[in-house]
Amino acid sequence: MIDIEAAQDGFALFVEGRKVLAHSRRAPCVEIGVAETAVRQHRGSVRLHRRRAVSIPIRSYKVFANEGEFCALDFDGKIRMALRLEGARLRMSFSLYDASINFFRIRLAAFHDESIFGLGERFSHLDLKGRRVRLWVEERGSGRGAADHAGSRRVDHDSSCFPSPVFISTRKYWCAVDTNAHTIMDFSRRASTLIEAWAVPREIVLGIGTKAQAPQAEPGARGQGEAPELVGDMSSYLGRQVIPPSWVYDGAIIGVQGGMGVLQERAEACLASGSKIAGFLIGDWCGRAHPGGAGSGSDWTWDRELYPDLPRQIALLRSRGIRVLGSLSPMLRVDGEQYAEAARSLWCVKEGGRKDYTVTCSGSPHAMVDLSNPAAFAWLKELIKRELLGIGMSGWVADSGEALPPDAVLSSGEEAVLAHNRWPVLWARANREAIEDSGRLGDAIFFSRGGWLGSTRYAMAFWVGDRAPVKERKAGFASTIPAAISAGLSGAGFWQFDIGGAEQPARGKGSPTGLLRRMEMAAFTPFFRAEDFSGAGPAPWNDPSSMAMLSRMTEVFASLKPYHMAAAAEYAEQGLPPIRHPWLHYEGDSEVLGLSLQYMYGRDLMIAPSMGACEELTSLYLPEDTWVHLWSSREFRGGGVTVESPPGYPAVFYRSESRFASLFDAIRRTAKRL
């Protein structure tokens, strides 16, 4: 039921007894306007600014429909809002506004005692209450540490390749803003949330839990609660990712570069050590590790000199249970045949309307395929099917979905500044459809770095991008934990990070023990993948102790395959992300709300990764339950605990009531010793 109650010079709107909107002449709930957007670019960094903004405060209103589950309000004849209650979701849409409007702000009712999670991958703060967050798909900076490789700019810790205008509150509601525009979410006020978008949203959806008005559970209370149901409803609206192929749980996916001899050498070294290997990701399969990187290739096709007879080698490795993966982006180097074909067909993004828009990637000019052009979109899908799937590859990294210049010209006529955030969704869709068209769904996979609202319908797995191989909370390894949790509370189920880190000359390389710490965490996530060891100190095959670490942790990861698959199925069926915040299962325990450096994997595991290479004690918080320390079988009932966590033995606990308890205990007894 939607109720509108008159208030002093305004109104308050309630849904099932919960206040959603409040309007007065002093604090109007809707504001619209016109502003000029300025685009500034420097060394790959893009910043948008609004100038000469003219906002229209809408103070008067009229209710012209109020029918229980539907109501409509007209704000001074300048914009109309329709609200429709469908089950436990309130859908808000807007109409009858001038086409020139490109500034929109709405004020939603909020709660002073709530915690806010989500907004895609967030690397610094998990609880966003009290913060103002800018949502714009963008690269965070090479190296992801304090400065990029050129040392020219600081990293914006608020930026993300996968932001998403969707959040969830501990007061039992979620909100999704259906827009592609630059968006700002302002949670700094105690009793209201401000949503600002640089275009009027197509729709704003609020999910209101069926138990929204139930009294808060007592601290320490157990049980299913409402949080899982709420997250499941949110992910159902957003669209859920498909379950990854089962082979990804057979071991690590290891990145290699350097040619066929190196690939064969790495394969033999890993197998000889007893490491469990699911696949090798060949970074320079087409002559370069990424657009403009090392190598001679200029097209997305296999380099016959560097990898002679690659299709046969792929088949041979697959016969040994090892898949081969590659890399791909919608960027074309301008000295290649594929670019020449795209240029002749006018399939590239334009600059100024005529010439192809080129950007410099690692010293080489590249053009971008125009994903808004149906013919170009179809051509790119065929390229994927022919050049990767056609030679037997089982997956790839789909990079550079965030790279659309906001001042480009698109064949669709859409403003690039409004298409920019949608670009990674289109890029994921092209990759997904190529796999489906080839009949490889359930067998092949791709990893997306960029994302936005709607990406979960197409992206098969999200890749957090490179992290610095250092402990730094906002830029290093530690930042992957809030990133994983916030992505999960934004609808994403399948997520991974690169255990190799990223090369960062300004701060030095990581240590072998630091590499193991990242292996430890990867063993208790949906994917164990290392694209590049360049920033991780000695690569495993150059260091016997690191090779032993790789063997132990990949064995642990592979032994968890039944649990990995159960967690994946739970996401597909219920929408609960495999990597999840403890709040989802212990919402009555107020202590869990402040946890940001530990996480649950599935329903039964609690993991607190060690952040420091030399730290051999780990402190964490366990909600009230019966927990078993994985490596010692000691039982704990909850509260703050400290356990030994030497290299190879991370702080991992499982619920004694788990149906996988015997599997976890078997891992303790059989895992290789260091």
pLDDT at 157: 61
Q: Which residues of 408-417 are buried (b: 16+ CB within 10 A; e: fewer)?
A: bbbbeeebbb
Nearest to 44 by CA among 182, 149, 130, 133: 149
pLDDT at 404: 93
To the query of whether residue 399 is one of the catalytic residues in this protein, the response is yes
Whole domain around residue 595: which residue ranges?
Answer: 582-670
- Same domain flag for 260 and 231: no
Domain at 177, CATH number: 2.60.40
pLDDT at 361: 80
User: In whole angstroms, what is the distance from residue 313 CA to residue 302 CA?
Assistant: 12
- Same domain flag for 628 and 564: no
- Same domain flag for 527 and 598: no
* Residues 378/380/386/387 CA torsion (nearest 10 deg): 180
- Same domain flag for 227 and 252: no
Annotated catalytic residue, options 127, 370, 466, 589? 466
Residue 223 CA: distances (Å) to CA of 6, 217, 585: 39, 10, 7
Q: What is the pTM of this model?
A: 0.92
Annotated catalytic residue, options 229, 284, 402, 532? 402
pLDDT at 52: 57
Domain at 365, CATH number: 3.20.20.80
Per the DSSP assignment, residues forming a β-bridge with 531 are none
- What is the total count of domains within the chain? 3
* Domain final residue, candidates 578, 611, 642: 578
What residues contact residue 1 under an 8 Å CB cut-off, 6+ apart? 15, 16, 68, 69, 85
To the query of whether residue 402 is one of the catalytic residues in this protein, the response is yes
Nearest to 400 by CA among 363, 435, 360, 368: 368
Q: Is beta strand 103-109 parallel, antiparallel or unpaired with respect to 192-197?
A: antiparallel
User: CB–CB of 384/430 below 8 Å?
Assistant: yes
Per-residue tokens: 221: 């209370």
User: In whole angstroms, what is the distance from residue 634 CA to residue 389 CA?
Assistant: 48
Annotated catalytic residue, options 127, 250, 399, 531? 399
Pairs from 229-232 (Cβ < 8 Å, separation ≥ 24): 230/168, 230/172, 230/173, 230/174, 231/168, 231/174, 231/489, 231/575, 231/576, 231/577, 231/584, 232/574, 232/575, 232/576
* Domain final residue, candidates 193, 221, 238: 238
- Same domain flag for 360 and 505: yes
pLDDT at 49: 67
- Same domain flag for 467 and 366: yes
User: In whole angstroms, what is the distance from residue 24 CA to residue 43 CA?
Assistant: 45
* Domain final residue, candidates 221, 238, 255: 238
Where residue 68 falls (left for φ over 0; alpha for ψ -120 to 50; beta otherwise) is: left
Mean pLDDT by 10 residues, the chain (674 residues): 89 93 92 82 61 73 91 94 96 95 94 96 93 91 36 58 97 97 95 95 91 41 72 97 98 94 93 95 80 60 95 97 96 95 96 89 88 98 98 96 92 94 98 98 97 97 70 69 96 93 47 82 96 65 86 97 98 97 95 95 97 83 98 96 94 98 96 80
